[in-house]
Chain A
């Protein structure tokens, strides 16, 4: 870092910013000083933002200054503090903080290896995973949900960052609390880690928060084709228990529909092949799904159909699944022949419906154990 010495002016400026911000943030909690500190903090954050993005159309951002700012923020543990107190910040500061996080997490040092890691993100993932956990907890408050969510979605493109959130499990052995290196992916989660809070954030929050949390959740579950299938395999019961009982049964129409749709996507993802086969073996999953077909909202029926078809099309139906289908054979045939009849233009759907009818009609009279795999 010796190349910095001698350019003192920029240096003192930017390092000071992080220090000042730290002072103000820590004092935010103290009652009487709160509002005044918030104002000062707002100023500091605005300055930081300017250092990072340059003033609009005018001054170009200075890479060295940014480098200094990033390192000083790491030193002062400012990222963590900002994440924790995000919801307490004033309106403009929350937006500024979002911008600061985005820039900081994306910043790669100008020197070093050919494709350097984003400096701050690497630090957080290895040494300070709590920053990411706290950002997730931004969903606890309406104020911080959007800025935190925006930052999270960007960060989660990084697999290590996603792993931090998935494997956070407090002080348990193998939790991500001590950095990405400490993760033990084969240990079943307790269900108390930050990832499991997403179910409640999606189900219980107001629309804005819920929709944002769902988007993040979707990213988390669909982006990483190595990480997530393994995670789901280990935590299969816990995950689908929450998923089916909280999201699919949500009172919110939007959540319900979105999560049925996402369920279909998860099951049909090639990477999740084993998850799918396990899923469609369970009789109770089929029951849930068949009840969706009878929902009084057409789009729920429609989304439910796309999960239902996986059960029926499975050439190796488990005995419980066969039992349910055979028991309801006549009803299903009757039902499916009139199912979403007005969807006359959707040839794909009509074909699939016909296919399912044929499959159900050809079921054996009694369940036959599937051949050993």
Chain B
């Protein structure tokens, strides 16, 4: 296939973060769709590619190529090392000089697009990228429109609520001027850190914008700047100036050189370094689908030919989960961490995956990065030799960014904090959540809550999302995921309480607990079989749930664990410091303890007590037990979560219908319904009537 050739010309050096393409090259909530649903909106991608590929301007991110590889469509874009303006805003708002430069460059970009008959329709800080030299480029043409005829107008309701022009919201027909409104909002966003009405719900904003007077820039800004914003934010598009006219505005004419923007990039890097936000090189790993047909050997029998379709030698899944957990284990073995250092649960994962490390997690983040560098011998061998030793060497020195178009949330067992979480991109279109810096978990409940989110809720949601095909359902799921993300950022404690209450409620209902709890034990059995070194449980009452990673380190340990009654779980949860001790197990001697006593002790020992060497081993054992408890609980949580999700999904889908009445139906699997309706109607009725024979065969 022709695409193979192109694919080979590019080598993936580094995944630039969870949203590789998105933070560095393009920002767009596209990760929600996985390649398995690709052509439901293939036309949409095609549209984007065709808009991008017909742009040749230094103010627009340059499209290089696109190719299919396996299930995935890759789009190769120009590499822009500076990041998006939204990224840069995280280390502080911009000053007027910088905003003037950015606005001028954007106007030049818009002038070009508009002269080409293109409307961007989603101008916002997140979609403005900077090169390392400070060049400003427009990105993300996911909703851009190409007008065939200059005078035609559009009615489609697209964009991001906060930045949307009133005429777009009212769907009364709009043209190029809509982009200039969004530019005005973006200017306010750069000056204040968020767009107007950011505190409102996006849906509410949709009513606000057309109804109220246009937002104004208030505060100690120059008259020119305020006037420029006011010019952009003229409600009647007929009186709003064009890009060309705005380029003559005083505020724009006095703007300086783009090189001045390098300051912003520097500032961001400094900020990153300060929080030890070292860029861990994250290597792209081809996600291999683990869908195997039910019984492979059992082919259909056709009289003559065995199989008309030659079975192509597809790459079968090496199970990502096992590969990752081995990797995990290796990493853990490498660890030289003292077992008793204070550690915050969940944050390591957080710091790498959300790129918004809380200060509490600095230490972890650093350790994590070191670990990563040490783990060169990990099984992701295909990419092993290409790894640079310094985390920053690959930053900015590759020619272009590879954009993985649609991410598959690979599965629940995502490794070591590398999380291609689709929610990350989703947030781009729902900015208010992103502005909430995650609350530092400062209570035990909060820490547990955060961990709950990171380890259980989020992977589950991702997994479920990947398995869902219908677009409305996916949308609903994504919204749920967003809601959880927000809850986690704002109130991890709330998440904790939510689940705790749920668990106890479920356990009180016999039917519910029968449904969920035994199922969960099945899984435990199943997982237990994998690690061979694990001896069978010694006392019949105990079930061990341990990940393969723990198995490697635990070899020969007589497992001991208490049955997971909710009350006991609560005891163990009281002590968040234990959470992270799982990875220290390698250094610990096995020591069987009776479950009850260990729990009793755990309740009594304050975390500091375990600093004392003599108690380490026992502490370790206890921790293990608790860890298992927690693992188990999480399993159960996952189960329940799925159930609840289904409910919520339904509700959310309904709500969504109600909320977006004007939205065009997303092309998806609906056709199948229509088609099969047709089919049945015809076969069962039409044909019978026609031939007078009942097809009861």
**Chain A residues within CB distance 8 Å of chain B:** 53-54, 56-57, 91-92, 95, 99, 102-103, 146, 150, 154, 204-208, 211-212, 215, 249, 251-254, 257-258, 261, 264-265, 268, 270, 284, 287-288, 290-292, 294-299, 302, 306, 309-310, 313-317, 323-324, 327-328, 331, 335, 338-339, 342-343, 345-346, 348-349, 352, 355, 359, 362-364, 368, 371, 373
Q: Do residues B39 and A257 form an inter-chain contact, with CB atoms below 8 A?
A: yes
User: Which residues of the other chain, B, contact A338 by a CB distance below 8 angstroms?
Assistant: 294
Provided the pairs A253-B68, A296-B292, A327-B301 are in contact, do residues A345 and B691 lie with their beta carbons within 8 angstroms? no
User: Which residues of the other chain, B, contact A343 by a CB distance below 8 angstroms?
Assistant: 469
- Select B149's contact among A53, A150, A298, A302, beta carbons within 8 Å: A53
Of chain A, the residue at the smallest CB distance from B308 is A287
Q: Do residues B675 and A294 form an inter-chain contact, with CB atoms below 8 A?
A: no
Q: Do residues A313 and B300 form an inter-chain contact, with CB atoms below 8 A?
A: no
Say whether B608 faces chain A, with CB atoms less than 8 Å apart. Answer: no
Most chain B beta-carbon contacts within 10 A, residue among A208, A316, A362: A208
Report the minimum CB–CB distance from A348 to chain B (whole Å).
5
Q: Do residues A345 and B308 form an inter-chain contact, with CB atoms below 8 A?
A: no
- Select A331's contact among B298, B316, B671, beta carbons within 8 Å: B298
The A contact surface, by secondary structure, is helix
Task: A200 to B538: give the CA distance in the assembly, Å.
Answer: 65
- Can you pick out 30 interface pairs between chain A and chain B where the beta carbons lie within 8 Å of each other? A57-B150, A92-B56, A206-B2, A207-B3, A207-B73, A211-B49, A253-B35, A253-B71, A254-B39, A265-B671, A294-B293, A295-B293, A296-B314, A297-B289, A306-B675, A306-B676, A310-B679, A313-B683, A316-B687, A324-B300, A324-B302, A327-B301, A327-B302, A331-B300, A339-B294, A345-B649, A352-B676, A355-B680, A364-B697, A368-B697
Q: Do residues B303 and A315 form an inter-chain contact, with CB atoms below 8 A?
A: no
User: Which residues of the other chain, A, contact B213 by a CB distance below 8 angstroms?
Assistant: none
Q: Do residues A206 and B6 form an inter-chain contact, with CB atoms below 8 A?
A: yes
- Select A315's contact among B43, B46, B298, B695, beta carbons within 8 Å: B695
Q: Do residues A264 and B675 form an inter-chain contact, with CB atoms below 8 A?
A: yes
Provided the pairs A92-B56, A215-B46, A254-B42 are in contact, do residues A249 and B289 lie with their beta carbons within 8 angstroms? no
Report the minimum CB–CB distance from B691 to chain A (whole Å).
6
Task: A274 to B672: give the CA distance in the assembly, Å.
Answer: 20
Q: Do residues B2 and A205 form an inter-chain contact, with CB atoms below 8 A?
A: yes
Q: Do residues B300 and A204 form an inter-chain contact, with CB atoms below 8 A?
A: no
Say whether B170 faces chain A, with CB atoms less than 8 Å apart. Answer: no
Provided the pairs A206-B2, A252-B3 are in contact, do residues A95 and B302 lie with their beta carbons within 8 angstroms? no
Q: Do residues B691 and A335 form an inter-chain contact, with CB atoms below 8 A?
A: no
Task: A208 to B66: give the CA distance in the assembly, Å.
Answer: 7
Q: Do residues A291 and B309 form an inter-chain contact, with CB atoms below 8 A?
A: yes
Q: Do residues A299 and B469 form an inter-chain contact, with CB atoms below 8 A?
A: yes
Q: Do residues A207 and B68 form an inter-chain contact, with CB atoms below 8 A?
A: yes
Q: Do residues B309 and A371 form an inter-chain contact, with CB atoms below 8 A?
A: no
Task: A302 to B666: give the CA distance in the assembly, Å.
Answer: 19
Q: Do residues B71 and A297 form an inter-chain contact, with CB atoms below 8 A?
A: yes
| Interface flags, B135-160, vs A, CB<8A=1, else 0 | 00000000000001110000000000
Contacting A at CB under 8 A, from B36-60, are 36-39, 42-43, 45-46, 49-50, 53-54, 56
Say whether B226 faces chain A, with CB atoms less than 8 Å apart. Answer: no
Task: A106 to B289: give the CA distance in the assembly, Å.
Answer: 47
- Select B38's contact among A254, A291, A324, beta carbons within 8 Å: A254
Report the minimum CB–CB distance from A234 to chain B (whole Å).
23
Say whether B70 faces chain A, with CB atoms less than 8 Å apart. Answer: yes
- Select A294's contact among B53, B300, B649, B696, beta carbons within 8 Å: B300
- Select A258's contact among B42, B53, B646, B691, beta carbons within 8 Å: B42
User: Which residues of the other chain, B, contact A95 by a CB distance below 8 angstroms?
Assistant: 54, 116
CB contacts between A and B, total, < 8 Å: 181
Q: When A and B form their complex, which 7 residue pairs have the shortest distance between CB atoms, in order from nearest?
A: A315-B695, A291-B309, A206-B2, A268-B675, A287-B308, A294-B293, A313-B683
Report the minimum CB–CB distance from B239 to chain A (whole Å).
14
Task: A316 to B697: give the CA distance in the assembly, Å.
Answer: 8
Say whether B218 faces chain A, with CB atoms less than 8 Å apart. Answer: no
Task: A297 to B38: give the CA distance in the assembly, Å.
Answer: 12
User: Which residues of the other chain, A, contact B355 by a CB distance below 8 angstroms?
Assistant: none
User: Which residues of the other chain, A, contact B116 by a CB distance below 8 angstroms?
Assistant: 95
User: Which residues of the other chain, B, contact A252 by a CB distance below 8 angstroms?
Assistant: 1, 3, 68
User: Which residues of the other chain, B, contact A313 by a CB distance below 8 angstroms?
Assistant: 679-680, 683-684
Say whether B658 faces chain A, with CB atoms less than 8 Å apart. Answer: no
User: Which residues of the other chain, A, contact B49 by a CB distance below 8 angstroms?
Assistant: 208, 211
User: Which residues of the other chain, A, contact B3 by a CB distance below 8 angstroms?
Assistant: 206-207, 252
User: Which residues of the other chain, B, contact A335 by a CB distance below 8 angstroms?
Assistant: 294-295
Contacting A at CB under 8 A, from B642-690, are 646, 649, 669, 671-673, 675-676, 678-680, 682-684, 687-688
Report the minimum CB–CB distance from A61 to chain B (whole Å).
9
User: Which residues of the other chain, A, contact B307 by a CB distance below 8 angstroms?
Assistant: 291
Task: A362 to B694: give the CA distance in the assembly, Å.
Answer: 14
Task: A292 to B70: give the CA distance in the assembly, Å.
Answer: 17
Say whether B242 faces chain A, with CB atoms less than 8 Å apart. Answer: yes
User: Which residues of the other chain, A, contact B54 by a CB distance below 8 angstroms?
Assistant: 95, 146
Q: Do residues B293 and A296 form an inter-chain contact, with CB atoms below 8 A?
A: yes
Say whether B312 faces chain A, with CB atoms less than 8 Å apart. Answer: yes
User: Which residues of the other chain, B, contact A345 by a CB distance below 8 angstroms?
Assistant: 468, 470, 473, 646, 649
| Interface flags, B180-224, vs A, CB<8A=1, else 0 | 000000000000000000000000000000000000000000000
Contacting A at CB under 8 A, from B304-318, are 305, 307-309, 312, 314, 316
Say whether B91 faces chain A, with CB atoms less than 8 Å apart. Answer: no
Provided the pairs A207-B67, A288-B308, A306-B672 are in contact, do residues A296 and B291 lie with their beta carbons within 8 angstroms? yes
